[in-house]
Each structure stands twice: as C-alpha cells, then as structure tokens.
A = this chain, B = another copy of it.
C-alpha cells in the first residue's frame, strides 16, 4: 500500500543521496516520482521537512539492513561484531541498496552540507550514529567483552573511517583494513580487560 507520500520520500532519498541535498531541486523529485507539487506541499511544510523525512527513512533502512546482515552471519556475538565489515564492503561495492550505488554515508554527507550542529538534519545524523554505537555496545556486552561501551566506540570509529576512506578515495577494500584492525583491538581488549565470561 504505497502512498504518494512514500513515493515522494523514496525518490527524495535516492536523489538527495546521489546528488546531494542542496543540489537536488524539488522539481526533479516531483518529475521522477510522478507526484504533483501541491501533493508535496500537502504532506510537507517545506523542502527541509522532506529532507528530514528522507533521512529518517534512511536511518531506518540502513540500520535494519546492517543489523540483519550481522545477525544472519552467526549466532556468536563476537563473530557478529566482526561481520559488520564484510557487510560494509558489500555496501561499498554498491550491492547493498538497490537503485542507490555507494555515495558515502548519507549522514556524514548531511552533516557536511548542514554544518551547523543545531540544524535538524545534523542532529538526526548524530542520532543515527549514536543508535549504531548503542547496538554495537549491546553486542559487545553479549559477547562478554570487557569495557563494552569503549570497545563499541572503537568499532564505530573504524566503521566511520572505512566509510570515509571507501568513498573519498574509492577504496572499498578499506572494509578489510578495518576488519583486520577490529580483530586486533578486540584481542587487545580481551587481553587487557577481565577474563571473558566463559
């Protein structure tokens, strides 16, 4: 039951992601979605609201995709953590989200265009990243790893570094570099921290 609103947000997300927010005009979104202008302004007060809706959709889609990839890889929490990186590589290679290739992280891009920390899009980007850290924390705790919040921050930082590297330098293999690093850091955390739970 796809509503016109859904068509609009879907098309907006695609164009914003590929071409950027400021560079994408409303008219193009309307043309590609086949929706009339008045319908847009019946559902959204402004282009900014459409941007926020698109980012909210992206947050949901991306986290669901990532979590599904990680959960299908294994039942072991530590292996799940490490499976984040092969998942990222399939994304970097453009195989993760149909229709959108890989144009970096939509939220890093949004923070770049909307530099002001107080801008709603920037805030939404920060929330997205925090939610992912929370998920990683949970997995670290499930894995019985010491200092799970700290380790989750480390793994999240590796993820951000891999994304930026893969995008700016066109280096999808950054995912494998990050994975190697993650293995070392996890082992170091184990060695340093208390004994694993088993």
- This protein's copies in its complex: 2
Counting chain A residues whose Cβ lies within 8 A of the other chain, the interface size class is 35 or more
Binds B, one of A29-37, A138-146, A163-171: A163-171
Binds B, one of A46-54, A56-64, A73-81, A101-109: A101-109
Judged by a CB distance under 8 angstroms, whether A198 is at the interface is no
CA of A108 to CA of B126, assembled, Å: 17
On whether the beta carbons of B129 and A157 are closer than 8 Å, the reply is: no
On whether the beta carbons of A104 and B113 are closer than 8 Å, the reply is: no
CA of A157 to CA of B105, assembled, Å: 15
Partner of A168, one of B19, B113, B125, B185: B125
A115-B111 contact, Cβ under 8 Å, with A169-B129, A177-B153 = no
Partner of A20, one of B115, B154, B162: B115
Residues of B within 8 A of A18 (CB): 115
CA of A177 to CA of B157, assembled, Å: 8
Instruction: Give the interface of A toward B (CB within 8 A).
Output: 18-20, 22-23, 103-105, 107-109, 111-115, 117, 122, 125-126, 129-130, 150, 153-154, 156-165, 167-170, 174, 177-178, 180-181, 184-185, 188
In addition to A20-B113, A156-B165, 4 A-B residue pairs with Cβ atoms within 8 Å of each other are A20-B112, A108-B112, A154-B177, A157-B158
